[in-house]
Every structure is written in C-alpha cells, then in structure tokens.
Amino acid sequence: MKNLTKYLADLSRNVFQLAIVVLMLLLTGCSLTAGNTDQVAASNQTANEQTSTDISSADSPKQSAESSESKLSETTETPAAQTTKSLKTPEQLAVEQAAAQQQAEKLAQQQQQIEDLYKQALDAMRAQDYKQAESLFEQILQLNPKQTGALINCAIIAKKQQNLVKAQQLLEQVITEQSNHAHAQHLLATVYQQQGIFDKAEQAYKDALKAKPEFKQAMLNYAVLLDLYRGDWQGAKQYYQAFLQLEPDNRQVKMWLAAVEQKAAAAQQGQG
C-alpha cells in the first residue's frame, strides 16, 4: 500500500512538471508569434512609408510632361546631339563643295582679269595716255571697288589733270581702309598742299613718315612745306638734314638747307 501511494505521488509530480513545461512552451510560442507580427507590422509600415514617399515625389502629369520636355531639350542641346543635327548627307556636301569650287574659280578668273587690266593701264600711263589708263583702272574698280593700286593711280591721273577734289576723295577712300599706307598719305599731303590746306598737309606728311620713317620724298616735301608755307625753319632744317643723310650728294637740297639755316639764324638774331 505504501508503494502504491509513493507511485501515485511520483506520477502526480511528473504530470505537474510536464504541465509546467507545456505551459512554458505555449507561452514561448505566443511570444514568438507576437514578435513576428511586430516585425511584419514594422515591415508594412516601412513599405507604406516608401510608397508614400514615392507618391509624394511623383510629379503631376503636366509636371512630368514639362520635366520630360526639359530633359529632352537638355539632351538635344548636348554637343553629341548638335553634331548629329549638323551632319549632312553626302549629296549636300557634294553640292557645297561644288559651289565652293565654282566660287574659287570665279575669284581666280576675276583676279587674272584685274592683273591683265592693271598691266595695260600702267602701260598707258607710261605712254602718258591718261584717258586710256583711267578707263582701264575704272574697269578694275568695277570688279573690285577697294583695289588700292587702281584708286591711287586714278588719284595720280586726277592730280595731273588738276582735278584736286577728285584726287583728294580717292586718296581719302584709300586711307579710310589703310591708314598706314605711306604712299597714299604722302600723295594726299601734296594734294592738300596744292589746295592751300596746310594743316592737313602737315598731318598727312607726319602720318606718311610714321608709316615709313625713311621715306625720302616725304621728308623733302615736308621740309619744303615747313620752309615756304609754315615759316618753321628749324623744322625744315631738321628734315632737309634727314634727307641728306639718305642722299648726301644732292646739291639742290644742300643749297636749300644753307638757305634755311640763314633764315633760322636771322630769326634768332631778330628775337635777340
């Protein structure tokens, strides 16, 4: 009887311990389920937040269209896109090359024509056939209105014919294009001088000598202007001497220099 009682007591204790273990297992399972539920909820919350963010950053259809147009515009402005746009077909390139070649041939023919006319005009000038020379130079100017040689030679012819106004206009046209053209400046100075426009003549001589410092004829003519028309004997003396440094055997200029030295000396004595 004692043994039976002891057996039942042990069985009851074991059942109780087993019940406690089962209970603990049940409690642990609930905890795990709750944790998983929380993780799923957290995941859902994150997904919802991402979805919400995507929606809020999405543009309206109009904005999206504008954005697409803007991106397309930016893309078309890239160098690669511009290069693509500027590409021409072989046919277009061939047409352009043919046109360029025709233009080059036309210019070459025109240049040859100008050279031929120029040679004929110079021959006419040497023969003092100024009417024929002028006609030929004018033909050149019809082909090239800015041909410097033709303009200057027409001015020389006009000066020889005492048409000083025309000569002045032609030379001023040259100087407008080429202000440092020494020969045009010198010729213009002589035209001004013949018209009694001494201030402009003096400036034109200075410009000619600035462009070409050893321009002998400009030195001499400037010295004569200062000597005879400006009363500047010291200045005239300076340019006569400069001329004689380049042409020391010129007896005529030596005489002019001696005369201007006497004038300068007399002027100094008079001031004293």
Residue 264, judged by CB atoms within 10 A of its CB (0-12, 13-18, 19+), counts as middle
For residue 272, what pLDDT band results from cuts at 50, 70 and 90? Answer: low
pLDDT tens for residues 177-192?
A: 999 999 999 999 999 9
Buried b or exposed e, range 163-192, using 16+ CB within 10 angstroms: ebebbbebbebbbeeeeebbbbbbbbbbbb
Q: From 243, 223, 241, select the one nearest 232 (Cα to Cα).
A: 223
Q: How large a percentage of the chain has pLDDT more than 70? A: 68
pLDDT tens for residues 52-69?
A: 333 333 333 333 333 333
How much is the pLDDT for 110?
Answer: 86
Q: Element (H or E) spanning 107, and its range?
A: helix 90-126
Return the structure tokens found at 160: 């020889």
Q: Does residue 15 register a pLDDT over 80?
A: no
How much is the pLDDT for 101?
Answer: 87
Return the structure tokens found at 242: 């400069």
Cβ–Cβ < 8 Å for 181, 211: yes
Stretch 223-227: mean pLDDT, rounded? 97
Q: Does residue 247 register a pLDDT over 60?
A: yes
Cβ–Cβ < 8 Å for 175, 151: no
- What single-letter DSSP state applies at residue 197? -
How much is the pLDDT for 31?
Answer: 40
For residue 269, what pLDDT band results from cuts at 50, 70 and 90? Answer: confident
The sign of the torsion formed by the CA atoms of 167, 168, 171, 173 equals negative
Return the structure tokens found at 48: 């919802």
How much is the pLDDT for 92?
Answer: 87
pLDDT, averaged across the chain: 78
The neighbour count for residue 142, using CB atoms within 10 Å, is 10
Stretch 22-44: mean pLDDT, rounded? 41
For residue 43, what pLDDT band results from cuts at 50, 70 and 90? Answer: very low
Q: Is 146 helix (H, G, I), strand (E, B) or coil?
A: coil
How much is the pLDDT for 267?
Answer: 83
Q: Does residue 211 register a pLDDT over 60?
A: yes
Q: Is 77 helix (H, G, I), strand (E, B) or coil?
A: coil
Q: How far apart are CA 98 and CA 162, in angstroms?
A: 49
Cβ within 8 Å of residue 125, ≥6 positions away: 133, 153, 156, 157
- The lowest-confidence range among 73-82, 138-147, 206-215, 231-240 is 73-82
- The lowest-confidence range among 17-21, 48-52, 204-208, 210-214 is 48-52
